[in-house]
Structure 1
Amino acid sequence: MQLDDQVARAFAPEGPLARVLPHFCPRTGQTDMALAVAGAIGAPARLVVEAGTGVGKTFAYLVPALLSGRRVLVSTATKALQDQLFGRDLPLLQRALALPLRPALLKGRSSYLCRHRLELARQDERAGDADLARDLGRIERWAQGTLTGDLAQLPDLDERSAAVALVTSTRDNCLGADCPRFQQCHVYQARREALAADVVVINHHLFFADLAVRESGVARLLPSAGVVIFDEAHQLAETAAQFLGAQLGTGQLLDLGQDLRAAGLRWARGLADWQALHDGLRHAVRTLRLLAAGGGGDPGDHGAARVPWAGPAPDGVDPAQWADALHAVVAALRAALAALDGLAGLAPDLQHLHQRTVALLERLAHFSAAGDGGRVRWLEVAGQPRMSESPLDVAPALHALWHGAPAPQGAWDEEGGAAQAADARSWVFTSATLGDDAGLRWFTEACGLQDARILRVPSPFDYARQAALYVPGQLPLPTDPAHSVQLAHWVSDAVARLGGHTLVLTTSLRALQAVAAVLQKRFLPGGGIEVLVQGQAPKRQIMESFRSQAHAGGHPAGQVLVGSATFWEGFDVPGDALQLLVIDKLPFPSPGDPLVRARSERLAREGRSAFRELALPAAAVALKQGAGRLIRRESDRGVLVVADTRLVGKGYGKRLMRALPAMRRLASQEEFEAALDALTRTSTTDCPWP
């Protein structure tokens, strides 16, 4: 039986999916997408699919891929979707299709417990902190029974805990085969299982990271994978840019100092002044971080978190002081290297520290030299400062990867292996948001996929019946400094009227803080409305708490969640928990962002409009992505508020409006309040949404 016949049979009303899955309902869009994926596998070819919310794209690409009999690699943007695919979707489909396939889940190093580093963690000077010590104890108890070492299976551990960095490895500090606990290594165990699997679920960062460094793992999996599928593909170009560029974080330097002192005192005590070497490096890095902190840029604004770096130093930093600070770090690293030169043979830890120090010196030399005209350099100032550089355009390297042509030097050629096999491989790229035009050019041009087959599958939801859109005209423009505060007061009234069930998405951390401050002042603890704020608790805990509004019994307190970038996508809240979604302003990319600025300047040099070809399509995709949080299933009802009158008052607003689902428009505050009242009634009765 041909693959497309098998796929059509699987999705038929009386097919295997309908027999095994109790809530399965055939959808034309889902079947169309599945048949298109089957066609791309049979060709083989490159297929780009924008599948609207509710299409069921996961099953639409998994069913033909699993039935094809070829080895499958599925890459996602988030670890949450990885866990869902591996833990829920694949087992369901294996049972429904009766396929004896061997699946595997493969994440990056930071997701797995490192037993060697766990043994060393108690020796770290930070381990005396009470909270960290408690988390280490929890990890030590869990480590005795875990089979996978995946920290996501330790639900009580806050992902922001300092203990995570102490008990996981990085590409810098991993000892590889020289590690005394290599035979029990969870990372290499997961990779061995992946190499023997029929279906491997990875993420975009791991895909590009391993290809970039030709490390064992994905770089070995790729040549033998007949089908490669990227879900949440809208993040591909940005992720690829990270690994075609260069980075050096001050955190890497501080980690080296910590490991240098610990390993030196353990294996070569008395043979060098390890404490002094650690202190010297830490002092040099501290000076560098202080300079970076004064480099112009307000971490409260996403765009300002990246400080442009076109000259000898980042903008706002004195070039002479910057050069002196870099020189001091180099001197501290050279002192460490001199101490390690004659001692590296004493232990694998010391040998690897020697290699890490050399690599960091090479990276510092790179950032001390003048930049390349085809690349963009900047300084990240949010969190631990990090020097970053990225190609202005990743499309040529990605085009080479998808097509099997010789890759540019330094790109992902895996010594020719991956490139040579690419022409016999099927590539599928899918997401709910890939562009706002028929050719999905926002995605295809950035990823070198102009010649791919394009399929757009609309959402099956009846948005005109299920949702409404309101643009409050009484609020000031987002350019007004009072916008966030006035918006927060307006939202607080709506939250009180609805009883919670509200998600506020902001386009900057500054706006998030302003809105959260007003809401937390209005809704005090124990008053019936709980305010959840990104950054004030673990993200997983916030999401689970917000979702629970729809399932808690009795009359639980309603909730309003205020989130920024991390909640604009990948946050699925079906049911009554989310009925009001507020977007504070149109999500145009920040003109101060170095990458945006460099790409805008390039378009201007070519006589093209940066606003029409860069800013506007990016805003349309982001707006569409954020709005997609509201309606997640056929029974959902809700109101979307875009608190930016430019959506209806500017000519370009029509293009942005077309990017949104076809919701009914609310023309006045009175209509908006009536819609909230209707939601309040339908959340507790069977009355239909008007």
Structure 2
Amino acid sequence: MDLQSSAGPPQASERPLAGSLVRRTREAFSQQGALSLAADQFRERDGQTDMALAVARTIEEGGQLVVEAGTGVGKTFSYLVPALLSGERVLLSTATKTLQDQLYGRDLPRLVEALGLPVRTALLKGRASYLCLHRLDLARHDAGPDRVSARTLAKIEQWSKATRTGDLAELPGLDERSPLIPLVTSTRENCLGAQCPQFRPCHVNAARREALSADVVVINHHLFFADLAVRESGMAELLPTVRVVVFDEAHQLNETGVQFLGVQVGTAQALDFARDLLAAGLQHARGLVDWSTVVAAVERAARELRLAVGKQWPGAKLRWLDAAPEGIEPEAWQRALDALHEGFAQAAEAIDTVSEMAPDFVRLHERATQLAQRAARFALPCPPESVRWVDVGQQLRLIESPLDIAEAVQTRVLKVDKADPDAIGRAWIFTSATLGDDPKLRWFTEPCGLADAEVLRVASPFDYAAQAALYVPRQFPKPNDPGHSGAVAQLAARGAAVLGGRTLVLTTTLRALRVIGDAMRQHFEHTEAELRPEVLVQGELPKRVLMDRFREGAGAGRSGCVLVASASFWEGFDAPGDVLQLVVIDKLPFPPPNDPLVEARSRRLEGQGRSSFNDYFLPEAGVALKQGAGRLIRRETDRGLLVICDTRLVAMGYGKRLLAALPPMRRVEGEAAFDSALAELG
């Protein structure tokens, strides 16, 4: 977390005069301006400058600005330059840790140097990103790590002696899915705070101290909403002193916020609490409380709650519209909930009698009290404008969620209904490549409570008609046909064979992911080794490894790659150049209609006299489709072919609206034209 300078932010009396920020921003983006020193092959672009000037005006005047900036606009520099030139304290929030690291490690240093500004920058992530020295010590003395875990733990220990930041992203080769990470990082529940023996060298506290003294702080949306939800130190201390807040990748803001502004309690939480309580009780207060009995009551209540649900499909989401979730006997469910609440409450009473004996008991008492409150909440009716459901796996998660973040943004972020002097004149910038399929960007502004924001749409500078083509096969199995995934695999393999890999297949379901991946591997089984593309499937390797291997492409005696992926690869995956020339999307990405949150949002729209299909399902599909298609062309020299294997796009009336949401690529009709387009790329 290298700080660029020790100079502090200017005071209000030292800020540039009104209007001068717009002028200096315009100068920076001129052909001979400072930006030409920071950007490779810089050339003046009207769209990039228009966005930068709009950001500068918003910073000067205050208010909210929503900008959809198409791929290639250069939106990062468009908001960074005026933000840095303003002399204000700035908070930058992104959707992913990857973009966080890119902003902090590459973009900000280049701009700070080019603009010649004395600016201190800091990077702040959530607790789970930092090594906890106390928990590392506990893990070191754990009796039973397996051989692989022991080797990984040894690497972490060696790295811990050299790292200054404790950011686990610095540790090469650490799988983000490693089961060791929760053992060597802290959570708000198990952090000992000032009572921790490693409090002074704590990496989380060091990161927060640097953030509090920095001019520009880079965070992520998860941290923003997590701290907003619990009013924890860090974000809560930073925001009142910051006048400029920028959300990049803002299209993820609503779904991220909904996760953190809701309430959850689960059987896994209960069992984790019980395990921690028993360990602390036997270590620090053996014989003072019958810990086994206290813990057994919590464990028994958790088991009874799971048994009340019975057998369900793994991954099922049970609607919860009445006293109990669908298909569950209400009395048995209520008894189990009451028992869970009673178990937590009794545990809190027991801990209270020994709370002064060790710091662990203070945290355990807080956890027990909070879990008891949550169990009691779920025994009451669901509040209006929220929705409840139960996630079913080996364990249960009871979830209560707001339908969107509009109210929270209005009252807790923008504070439009409160006479808060800190909120007056603050500038809020929201930007992404995709924020809706209509001129007012209502898909984004409505659920985010930004109906009064200024809206700007900046088109991509790419010549899509020349650089890319779109093919929608008309003779193809319907999306719900059992043979659909096999046909997608066959078409993708046909393209990958011509291109020598260079293919990304995006699926809408995990089932399709597995079927298409297996089918493509079988297709290439008998292909000569030097001509056989490597088929990579999401979930089989860490995401970072998959992305790096795909970007390497052909070379060193290897063939190119096919990547079959779902979910997170629809966005944020950047593979410019000729390593990716074919993107195949299996189906139109409509939200799952039986998802409880989707159902609740649909019911609300219908209750308002609106069409849930036109006002929710279509915009959602349009945005997701645009995100997926955006993986294809990343530079002005890229060329490629987009295939959407869903005949509804050309057979149904609503297909025109979805086609209009896509970049203006030229259309390819018929198999012969498809083969010809592939041959041109190959």
* TM-score bucket (shorter structure): over 0.9
* CA-CA distance at 1:401 after TM superposition: 4.2
* CA-CA distance at 1:164 after TM superposition: 0.5
In the alignment, which residue of structure 1 is the partner of 2:6? none
Task: Could you tell me which runs of 5 or more consecutive residues in structure 2 were left unpaired when the two chains were aligned.
Answer: 1-15
* CA-CA distance at 1:545 after TM superposition: 1.0
1:386 is aligned, of 390, 397, 407, to 397
Task: Could you tell me which runs of 5 or more consecutive residues in structure 1 were left unpaired when the two chains were aligned.
Answer: 300-304, 408-415, 681-690
**Structure 1 counterpart SS, 2:200:** helix
* CA-CA distance at 1:37 after TM superposition: 0.4
CA distance in 2, matches of 1:359, 1:524: 55
**Structure 2 counterpart SS, 1:183:** coil
1:154 is aligned, of 171, 175, 190, to 171
* CA-CA distance at 1:132 after TM superposition: 2.4
CA distance in 2, matches of 1:188, 1:4: 37
CA distance in 2, matches of 1:602, 1:596: 10
1:255/1:595 CA distance change after superposition, 3 Å:
same
In the alignment, which residue of structure 1 is the partner of 2:220? 203
Matched, 1:365 2:383: no
The two structures have a TM-score, normalised by structure 2, of 0.93
* CA-CA distance at 1:469 after TM superposition: 0.5
In the alignment, which residue of structure 2 is the partner of 1:285? 302
Contact 2:404/2:448 (8 A) holds in 1:
no
1:626 is aligned, of 617, 628, 632, to 628
Contact 1:508/1:564 (8 A) holds in 2:
yes
1:619/1:218 CA distance change after superposition, 3 Å:
same
Contact 2:192/2:360 (8 A) holds in 1:
yes
1:67/1:384 CA distance change after superposition, 3 Å:
farther
1:137/1:251 CA distance change after superposition, 3 Å:
farther
In the alignment, which residue of structure 2 is the partner of 1:166? 183
Contact 1:401/1:422 (8 A) holds in 2:
no
* CA-CA distance at 1:677 after TM superposition: 1.7
* CA-CA distance at 1:473 after TM superposition: 1.9
CA distance in 1, matches of 2:156, 2:287: 32
1:265-280 to 2 correspondences below 5 Å? 265-272=282-289, 274=291
CA distance in 2, matches of 1:279, 1:131: 32
Matched, 1:75 2:93: yes
In the alignment, which residue of structure 2 is the partner of 1:317? 328
CA distance in 2, matches of 1:334, 1:397: 30
In the alignment, which residue of structure 2 is the partner of 1:254? 271
* CA-CA distance at 1:286 after TM superposition: 4.5
1:332/1:397 CA distance change after superposition, 3 Å:
closer
Matched, 1:58 2:58: no
In the alignment, which residue of structure 2 is the partner of 1:461? 462
In the alignment, which residue of structure 1 is the partner of 2:481? 480
Contact 2:473/2:647 (8 A) holds in 1:
yes
CA distance in 1, matches of 2:430, 2:310: 39
What's the Cα RMSD here? 2.1
Instruction: Kindly provide the CA deviation profile for residues 616-645 of structure 1, in whole angstroms up to 9, marking residues without a partner as x.
Output: 111111111111111111111111111101
* CA-CA distance at 1:274 after TM superposition: 4.6
**Structure 2 counterpart SS, 1:184:** coil
In the alignment, which residue of structure 1 is the partner of 2:535? 531
* CA-CA distance at 1:119 after TM superposition: 1.2
Between 97-106 and 263-272, report the one with greater CA deviation: 263-272
**Structure 2 counterpart SS, 1:542:** helix
In the alignment, which residue of structure 2 is the partner of 1:662? 664
1:336 is aligned, of 322, 347, 356, to 347
**Structure 2 counterpart SS, 1:576:** helix
Instruction: Kindly provide the CA deviation profile for residues 102-131 of structure 1, in whole angstroms up to 9, marking residues without a partner as x.
Output: 000001111111111111124556x43333
* CA-CA distance at 1:357 after TM superposition: 1.0
1:225 is aligned, of 242, 265, 286, to 242
Letter in 2 for 1:547: R
Between 327-336 and 144-153, report the one with greater CA deviation: 327-336
* CA-CA distance at 1:273 after TM superposition: 5.3
Contact 1:579/1:637 (8 A) holds in 2:
yes
In the alignment, which residue of structure 1 is the partner of 2:424? 423
In the alignment, which residue of structure 1 is the partner of 2:161? 144
CA distance in 2, matches of 1:367, 1:71: 41
Letter in 1 for 2:551: R
* CA-CA distance at 1:383 after TM superposition: 7.8
Letter in 2 for 1:581: V
Between 92-101 and 243-252, report the one with greater CA deviation: 243-252
Instruction: Kindly provide the CA deviation profile for residues 382-424 of structure 1, in whole angstroms up to 9, marking residues without a partner as x.
Output: 68532211123432331234543236xxxxxxxx8xx431221
Instruction: Kindly provide the CA deviation profile for residues 305-338 of structure 1, in whole angstroms up to 9, marking residues without a partner as x.
Output: 5332112222233334433443443454345334
* CA-CA distance at 1:174 after TM superposition: 1.2
CA distance in 1, matches of 2:158, 2:346: 39
1:42-53 to 2 correspondences below 5 Å? 42-53=60-71
1:493-642 to 2 correspondences below 5 Å? 493-524=494-525, 527=529, 528-549=532-553, 553-642=555-644
CA distance in 1, matches of 2:678, 2:533: 16
1:110-189 to 2 correspondences below 5 Å? 110-124=128-142, 127-189=144-206
CA distance in 1, matches of 2:445, 2:331: 43
* CA-CA distance at 1:484 after TM superposition: 1.5
CA distance in 2, matches of 1:260, 1:606: 48
Matched, 1:90 2:133: no
In the alignment, which residue of structure 2 is the partner of 1:245? 262
Instruction: Kindly provide the CA deviation profile for residues 570-602 of structure 1, in whole angstroms up to 9, marking residues without a partner as x.
Output: 111111121111111111111111121112112
CA distance in 1, matches of 2:174, 2:386: 39
Contact 1:444/1:450 (8 A) holds in 2:
yes
CA distance in 1, matches of 2:562, 2:630: 18
**Structure 2 counterpart SS, 1:235:** helix
CA distance in 2, matches of 1:617, 1:293: 37
1:644/1:500 CA distance change after superposition, 3 Å:
same
CA distance in 1, matches of 2:297, 2:524: 49
Matched, 1:30 2:34: no
Contact 1:579/1:630 (8 A) holds in 2:
yes
1:420-459 to 2 correspondences below 5 Å? 420-459=421-460
1:279/1:164 CA distance change after superposition, 3 Å:
farther
1:218/1:24 CA distance change after superposition, 3 Å:
same
Instruction: Kindly provide the CA deviation profile for residues 171-200 of structure 1, in whole angstroms up to 9, marking residues without a partner as x.
Output: 111111121111111111111110000000
Letter in 1 for 2:41: H
Contact 1:191/1:217 (8 A) holds in 2:
yes
1:328/1:48 CA distance change after superposition, 3 Å:
same
CA distance in 2, matches of 1:283, 1:501: 53
CA distance in 2, matches of 1:22, 1:425: 32
CA distance in 1, matches of 2:308, 2:539: 26
CA distance in 1, matches of 2:201, 2:293: 34
1:387-426 to 2 correspondences below 5 Å? 387-401=398-412, 403-406=414-417, 419-426=420-427
- Number of aligned residues: 661
Contact 1:111/1:150 (8 A) holds in 2:
yes
In the alignment, which residue of structure 1 is the partner of 2:492? 491
Letter in 2 for 1:46: Q
Contact 1:308/1:378 (8 A) holds in 2:
yes
* CA-CA distance at 1:251 after TM superposition: 3.2
* CA-CA distance at 1:22 after TM superposition: 3.6
CA distance in 2, matches of 1:32, 1:3: 14
CA distance in 1, matches of 2:306, 2:269: 13
